[in-house]
A and B are shown apart, each in its own frame.
Chain A
Amino acid sequence: MDHPTIGDRISGALIYAALAVILVLVLYPLIYVLSASVSEPSAVIEGRMWLFPVDLTFTGYNKIFHNEEVLIGYRNTILYTVVGTAINLFMTTAAAYPLSRKDFAGRGVITAILVFTMFFSGGLIPTYLLIKSLHMINTIWALILPGAVSVYNIIIMRTFFQMSIPPELQEAAAIDGCGNLQTLWRIVLPLSMPILAVMVLFYSVGHWNSYFNALIYLSERSKFPLQLFLREILVKGEVDNMVQGGAAMIGQDQQILDAEIIKYAMVVVANVPIFLLYPFLQKYFVKGIMIGAIKG
């Protein structure tokens, strides 16, 4: 490795060059969004803004923070994320711990029952009819209960318990008179903070970003999560514009211009919590994937 050949130097340089290109391709759209969100709208629309903000303005953000629906969406999403993640965390632990115990009779059968649902499901329509008959339409439960636990995450957590918590420790606790639940609460969970962090992040990012259940189960706007409002602003608005052959360019009305940078600002605002958490996310998500990979 100390004296690479000329061929290896060339291939090494090519790899670095390729990675540099990839970096630009991934970073550019992200920076563009950030810059566009604080630029003069006409500069963005006419293509005078390439990388750095042109004629700095915060109109977009100002409009967003005075938009009541965006705030409602934000509030709802926080509520759904917190309640949903709490339930997910309880359910995942409640399944993973018993299944991690080699002395737990029936773990094979229960695991099979759970894993089968990863490969076959009733699908959209029967699930929809079920939610409807449970009168969960237009309630928070329609967003939270159908995905109350992910079998994949149960397997990850079970694997962690098996690998990282010595069975001897649990047996010793049992001899000292600890019940099973006490062992879980006092011995196992305090040693499982890393995996609990992984789970909180997996689930909460999932709730934060999801729109599908809200789309099919919610019709009252006051209950919409942020992603549904985002969809109206980013996706539907954009398509309408395109289908009408770019009315925005013909009108040149300031409001229509502003609408354009509001979109960019919306993307930034919607992702602020996630990017604040990003350093933790990266570390713990990677850890979760590694554990998941061990048990395929």
Chain B
Amino acid sequence: MRVFRKYWDLYLLILPVLVYVLVFHYYPMFGLQIAFKNFVAVKGIWGSPWTGLDHFQRFFDSYYFWRLIRNTLGISLYELAVGFPAPLLLALMIHEVRHRSFRKFVQTVTYAPHFLSMVVLVGMVLMFLSPQKGVVNHLITWFGGEPISFLTEPEWFKTVYVLSGVWQSAGWGSIIYLAALAGIDPGLHEAAIIDGASRLRRIWHINLPGIMATVVILLILNLGSLMGVGFEKVYLMQNSLNKESSDVIATYVYQSGILGSQYSFSAAVGLFNSVVNFILLVIVNAAARRLNETSLW
């Protein structure tokens, strides 16, 4: 009680934040029970009748299930393979630049696309890739090729998604690696140079191990969200012609839940997704802790 008398004002200060997380984060978690119920608006979340695992069963049996899993995992794995190494490579290269002004210029330019909104980014992608009016297809036809309709041919969707993501965020993602690289003891490099190690060997044997802990943490976070392809970008890039390869769990939840008002069913789909994500994160984190003694918690 003495503690409370001395700190009552701090508790009062943090109270709004606690109320906020309880209302906007924990209450919706309890609201997830509608995934096991048949939500009836007039009865509310608590009064609607239970149905057990019916909605999950319906989702697993549905025509869309494997398509959604395939697209969600396909986009994440593609992104992991291409989007994850890109900022790392960029940082390793920028770190080798000795001219300060060139280095600064490269950083200023590559960070800039990060600040474009998703709407603007996708808008630019659509304009540039437009079959008749876009600069990319002008270039292709100029070299004598046939224009490609990137956004309406399903096989191009994931490539466009991942590469535009690299364009937007590789520079920004390199910041964290550059910070880690700056922390490496220059003495190691001096000693290695005396021993005759080339630049590439020094990058491989000093810089890369030096930032391994950072790489592993970011890899854990990436693997943990393997099933969590975000809604915002996919939704904007999606159209009726590319849906076969662009429909992911998040857009499906939006479509059947918000637009189709099947609240219970979409909540079940969303819950399935969150649980898989959470389990993935725990497993990957445990594995990393065992292998590398690096962990999120």
B112 touches A26 (CB 8 A): yes
B90 touches A124 (CB 8 A): no
B126 touches A274 (CB 8 A): no
Of all chain A residues, the one with the shortest Cβ separation from B110 is: A26
* A57-65, A191-199, A203-211 - interface stretch: A203-211
Interface string of B94-129 (1 = CB under 8 A from A): 101100001001111111110111111011101110
Q: How many residues of B contact A (CB 8 A)?
A: 98
B96 touches A12 (CB 8 A): yes
Specify which chain B residues have a CB less than 8 angstroms from the CB of A25 in the assembled complex: 167
**Given A98-B10, A289-B176, also A241-B130 (CB < 8 A):** yes
Specify which chain A residues have a CB less than 8 angstroms from the CB of B31 in the assembled complex: 122, 125-127, 129-130
* B63-71, B74-82, B192-200 - interface stretch: B192-200
Of all chain B residues, the one with the shortest Cβ separation from A227 is: B119
Of all chain B residues, the one with the shortest Cβ separation from A229 is: B119
Q: Which of B240-297 contact A (CB under 8 A)?
A: 240-241, 250, 253-254, 257-258, 263, 266-267, 270-271, 273-274, 278, 281, 296
Of all chain B residues, the one with the shortest Cβ separation from A126 is: B31
* Chain A CB within 8 A of B133 CB: yes
Q: CA–CA, A163 to B209, complex, Å?
A: 27
Taking beta carbons and an 8 Å cutoff, which residues of A are in contact with B?
A: 1, 4-5, 7-8, 11-12, 15-16, 18-19, 22-23, 25-27, 29-30, 32-33, 44-45, 47, 50, 91, 94-95, 97-99, 101, 103-105, 110, 113-114, 117, 119-130, 133, 145-146, 148-149, 154, 179-181, 184, 205, 208-212, 216, 227, 230-231, 233-235, 238-239, 241-243, 246, 248-249, 260, 263-264, 266-267, 270-271, 274-275, 278, 281-282, 285-286, 289-290, 293, 296
Can you give 19 contacting A-B residue pairs, CB < 8 Å? A4-B199, A8-B199, A19-B102, A22-B90, A104-B7, A105-B3, A120-B274, A124-B270, A128-B258, A129-B45, A130-B31, A234-B119, A235-B122, A238-B127, A238-B130, A242-B151, A243-B152, A289-B179, A293-B180
> Which 7 A/B pairs are nearest by Cβ-Cβ distance?
A122-B28, A234-B123, A126-B31, A47-B138, A209-B117, A123-B270, A126-B28
